[in-house]
Amino acid sequence: MAGTKTLLVLENFIGGRFLPCNSYIDSYDPSTGEVYSRVPDSGKEEVEAAVEAARAAFPGWSARSPQERAQVLHRLADLLEQSLEELAQAESKDQGKTITLARTVDIPRSVQNFRFFASSILHHTSECTQMDHMGCLHYTVRAPVGIAGLISPWNLPLYLLTWKIAPAIAAGNTVIAKPSELTSVTAWMMCKLLEKAGVPPGVVNIVFGTGPRVGEALVSHPEVPLISFTGSQPTAERITQLSAPHCKRLSLELGGKNPAIIFEDANLEECVPTTGEICLCTSRIFVQKSIYSEFLKRFLEATRLWKVGIPSDPSASMGALISKAHLEKVRSYIKKARAEGAQILCGEGVDKLSLPPRNQGGYFMLPTVITDIKDESCCMKEEIFGPVTCVVPFDSEEEVIKRANSVKYGLAATVWSSNVGRVHRVAKKLQSGLVWTNCWLIRELNLPFGGMKSSGVGREGAKDSYEFFTEVKTITIKH
């Protein structure tokens, strides 16, 4: 067991300084189940201090030119890149994801977020129209809104935190961010680089803690007009209620129950490995009947090749789940599926997971494939957010579109087919904010990201984020 002396103790970052907190929350190492760091359990007082710092920093920061702000973002990106290995190791340990994933996806994308918005902020143009018969000229100007409240989740800690901070400060706002209390370490490490990058005190404030204490204080604060949140639907409902009296602007990026649709003319050579990799993201796989058994055979082979191991093992394809409570939740869905008469073909309760002795208490789970399950099952309707996927057959295009759209979520979908006409037709009819065809998770940051239905409100991307983080004004001049 780790002694108290070796615990990592985080501090809030307010007004350019690290400040201790009166009370702390234990944070666990998902690969061992042991406490390894302490996170500030902040509340109203800390949020108030952060609002003061952000308010004081706003006039100076918003008065800088976009070029000057972009330089600061570029410097921060460079510093993050120089610390890539250190950040990747910290992210992997704190979140439970593999070191390979943190090294190749999370941290590089965090660096890219700052570079991308440092560049895109320089290329927005405003509108102008003439009304010659009235002797008038109309044009628009955009200005930063003020203090932005940013709340990010535990699945992509630094990746999604920077995806919010970068556009907010590029546009001239100051921010108060609250990372998930389960994954706060890389946000705290980033704070150490802010001064060196030239970010003035108070422009970026990070207050650690739980949703009910910090989140609620931030969301209900009258001086925080903007809230950007990524997380669960129940939390989003609470945010909406608390912010309603203040008419706040909200961007809510919520859950999904993402379908993959595999038609009989799909290229299985490409489709099976890719669909295997997205076990974490695609929880409903619809396969056309004529290729169902062939796909299932190949898919199971690919899934069994996945190595679940300790996050620091470079050969592991999957690490640990985030927490004991989350592991229990994911397991409960598999129990429900079994009780409903579904078949569990591999993974939890079927195959044996071998782990080193010190990781026996970690939150590990094998990728699990379920078949013979009804569309009405909770496993087909609710977001599980774990390595569990249901594979079901379908007959026709029309039928599968209806079934894919039959859930309350609409974040992303994938379609596999070599028929170009069908790909366009199906993509158009799916109720999803994003549809990938014959590929997965290839992101063009210029274009909108976000979901339909219960998957959220608003979009994020070059233009969308800029519009969200600025206020537009129309000016008319009679000449």
Verify that 171 and 200 share a domain, yes or no: yes
Helix (H) or strand (E) holding 256: none
Q: Which two tokens stand for residue 422?
A: 């069908």
Question: 431: domain range?
Answer: 259-437
β 282-288/388-394 pair status? parallel
Tell me what pLDDT residue 5 has.
57
| C-alpha–C-alpha distance, residues 382 and 188, integer Å | 33
Verify that 417 and 367 share a domain, yes or no: yes
Measured CA angle at 153 (ends 37, 467), to 5 deg? 135
CB count within 10 Å of CB 104 equals: 12
Q: Which of 8, 29, 1, 25 shows the shortest CA–CA distance to 324? A: 29
Q: How many domains does the chain have?
A: 2
Are 153 and 228 in contact by the 8 Å Cβ rule? The answer is: no
Residue that has been written with the tokens 């000057």 in this structure: 68
Q: Is residue 447 part of a domain?
A: no
Instruction: Please tell me whether residue 169 adopts helix, strand or coil conformation.
Output: helix
**Largest Cα–Cα distance of the chain, in whole Å?**
82
Verify that 251 and 265 share a domain, yes or no: no
Q: Is residue 144 part of a domain?
A: yes
Catalytic residue, from 46, 91, 181, 253: name it.
253
> DSSP label at 209?
S
Q: What is the CATH number of the domain that holds 48?
A: 3.40.605.10
Tell me how far CA of residue 130 lies from CA of 140, 179, 478, in angstroms: 12, 46, 10
Residue that has been written with the tokens 């930063």 in this structure: 144
Verify that 198 and 347 share a domain, yes or no: no
Tell me what pLDDT residue 6 has.
84
Verify that 465 and 410 share a domain, yes or no: no
Residue that has been written with the tokens 């195959």 in this structure: 351
Q: Is residue 2 part of a domain?
A: no
Q: Is residue 41 part of a domain?
A: yes
Verify that 19 and 70 share a domain, yes or no: yes
Are 177 and 205 in contact by the 8 Å Cβ rule? The answer is: yes
Q: What is the CATH number of the domain that holds 341?
A: 3.40.309.10
Q: Which of 453, 449, 442, 477 shows the shortest CA–CA distance to 464? A: 449
Q: Is residue 390 part of a domain?
A: yes
Q: Is residue 360 part of a domain?
A: yes
Verify that 122 and 271 share a domain, yes or no: no
pTM (two decimals)? 0.97
The strand pairing partners of 148, in sequence order, are 175, 226
Tell me what pLDDT residue 367 has.
94
| C-alpha–C-alpha distance, residues 119 and 113, integer Å | 10
Verify that 273 and 320 share a domain, yes or no: yes
Verify that 194 and 323 share a domain, yes or no: no
Q: Is residue 318 part of a domain?
A: yes
Annotation marks residue 253 as catalytic: yes
Are 243 and 394 in contact by the 8 Å Cβ rule? The answer is: no
| C-alpha–C-alpha distance, residues 381 and 367, integer Å | 19
Verify that 251 and 269 share a domain, yes or no: no
b/e string for 293-326 if b means 16 or more Cβ within 10 A?
eebbebbbebbbebebbbbebeebbbbbbbbeeb
Verify that 236 and 334 share a domain, yes or no: no
For the chain, 479 residues long, give each residue's pLDDT as a single digit of tens.
Answer: 444 458 999 999 999 999 999 999 999 999 999 999 999 999 999 999 999 999 999 999 999 999 999 999 999 999 999 999 999 999 999 999 999 999 999 999 999 999 999 999 999 999 999 999 999 999 999 999 999 999 999 999 999 999 999 999 999 999 999 999 999 999 999 999 999 999 999 999 999 999 999 999 999 999 999 999 999 999 999 999 999 999 999 999 999 999 999 999 999 999 988 765 554 467 899 999 999 999 999 999 999 999 999 999 999 999 999 999 999 999 999 999 999 999 999 999 999 999 999 999 999 999 999 999 999 999 999 999 999 999 999 999 999 999 999 999 999 999 999 999 999 999 999 999 999 999 988 999 999 999 999 999 999 999 999 999 999 999 999 98
Verify that 184 and 324 share a domain, yes or no: no
| C-alpha–C-alpha distance, residues 177 and 180, integer Å | 10
